[in-house]
Amino acid sequence: MHITLRQLSVFTAIADHTSVTQASDFLALSQAAASMSLKELEQQLGTHLFDRNGKRLILNEHGRRFYPIAQQTLLSAKEAESLFKQDLACNLRLGASSTIGAYALPPLMAKFLELEKNSQLQLKVANSEQILEWVANFQLDLGLIEGPLQHPDVCIQPWKEDELIFICSNKHPLAQQTKISIDTLQHQRWIMREQGSGTRVLLEQFIAPYFGTPEQMLEIGNAEGIKHAVIANAGIACVSKQSVLHELELGIVHPIQLPGMKKLTRTFYLALHKEKYSTQGLKRFIQFINR
């Protein structure tokens, strides 16, 4: 068997783009050359790797099993090419849930790039469920999520602790009250993240024992939108304290203090595919953000 790196490159590109045409454009090959490489690879393996869905090519069971092996082989080849170079730049596809992607991760990315100026980092921001799905499908090298979600193909490990606080606008009636009960919060309009958000899951777990589901809810798909809705006095919310430090300092949002309530914290998690080949660059990045 003589599988070539080109065949593996074509295979992974087709898997990523679900199209021979798009894969050939991405690799700067002719469509005929890309099709021939895939045909030769499948003949050598003795099996088809894709199912055809209209014009799209979707990995079948054999293709899904072969994809991490092909990806690992290509990454190993790239590292071999750079083995004796002083500058081992990395190129990572990162994904983060809303709060992490907006506040926690960008400063760390900036500091990392100060140390490794030739490295490249790409960041996608979505809710925790979507990030986990992208990691499971090898569309991301590393995910950072806000909830302890589970996936059979993904390793989830704790990363950092984050404090959550309840807030309202400085114009909200609760901002003028010194004693606020949990029952009072039940009758407020809650501004919450969408289903699938780690923050939403944690908040529902916290308030459910007290009053179940809030009577009024406004769903907004990102942390920044929730903050601005609170400022506009659309309701109350539970957010990362890190995301409203500036607004608290200016006094345009007000922290809601509940008698006897312990500090509400949640854990941020790293998500890495169990079969993902960890390049030296990925190892260095994980080590850096764990400092």
Instruction: Say if residue 166 is in the same domain as residue 253.
Output: yes
Q: How confident is residue 1, by pLDDT bands cut at 50, 70 and 90?
A: low
pLDDT at 280: 83
User: Is 11 found in the same domain as 70?
Assistant: yes
Q: Is residue 86 part of a domain?
A: no
Please identify, among 30, 47, 81, the residue that sits at the C-terminal boundary of a domain: 81
Q: What is the pLDDT of residue 200?
A: 80
User: What local confidence, expressed as pLDDT, does residue 195 receive?
Assistant: 81
Quickly count helices (H) and strands (E) in the chain.
Answer: 12, 11
**In-domain check, residue 103:** yes
Q: Report the alpha-carbon angle 183-188-190, nearest 5.
A: 115
- Average the pLDDT over 226-242 and give the result: 93
Q: Please enumerate in sequence order all residues whose Cβ is within 8 A of that of 263, keeping only pairs 6 or more positions apart, or say none.
A: 163
**Domain extent for 278:** 91-160+268-289
Q: Are residues 247 and 165 in the same domain?
A: yes
User: Does this model's pTM top 0.75?
Assistant: no
Q: Which of 111, 42, 107 is nearest to 70 (CA)?
A: 42
Whether 75 and 211 map to the same domain: the answer is no
Query: Are 35 and 63 members of one domain?
Result: yes
List, in sequence order, every beta strand (DSSP E) within the chain.
50-53, 56-59, 91-96, 120-125, 142-145, 154-169, 189-192, 216-219, 237-240, 253-255, 264-273
Instruction: Report whether pLDDT(78) > 90.
Output: no
Q: Could you say which DSSP state residue 146 is in?
A: S
For position 236, what pLDDT does the model report? 93
pLDDT at 272 over 80: yes
Same domain, 181 and 249: yes
| Count of structural domains within the chain | 3
Query: Are both 252 and 177 inside the same structural domain?
Result: yes
Q: What pLDDT does 7 receive?
A: 93
Same domain? For 223 and 137 the reply is no
pLDDT, the chain, mean: 88
Out of 81, 104, 131, a domain closes at 81
Last residue of a domain, one of 53, 81, 109: 81
Q: Identify whether residues 223 and 206 lie together within a single domain.
A: yes
Q: Tell me the pLDDT band of 82, cut-offs 50, 70 and 90.
A: low
HSE-up of residue 125 (Cα within 13 Å, Cβ side): 13
Which tens digits make up the pLDDT trace of 26-66? 999 999 999 999 999 999 999 999 998 888 999 999 999 99
Integer CA distances (angstroms), 39 to 32, 36, 46, 283, in order: 10, 5, 10, 35
Q: Are 178 and 258 in contact (CB under 8 A)?
A: no
Residues 52 and 112 in one domain: no
For residues 208 and 254, state if they share a domain.
yes
151-197, pLDDT tens digit by residue?
A: 999 999 999 999 989 999 999 999 988 778 777 888 889 999 888 77
CATH number, domain with residue 220? 3.40.190.10
Looking at the predicted structure, is the pLDDT value of residue 98 above 80? yes
Return the biggest CA–CA distance within the chain. 76
Q: At what angle do helices 280-289 and 105-115 cross, to 10 degrees?
A: 130
Q: What is residue 102's predicted lDDT score, i.e. its pLDDT?
A: 87
Cβ-contact 21, 31 below 8 angstroms: yes
- Averaged pLDDT, 21-30: 92
Q: Looking at residues 210-216, what average pLDDT do you find?
A: 76
Tell me, yes or no, whether 181 and 250 share the same domain: yes
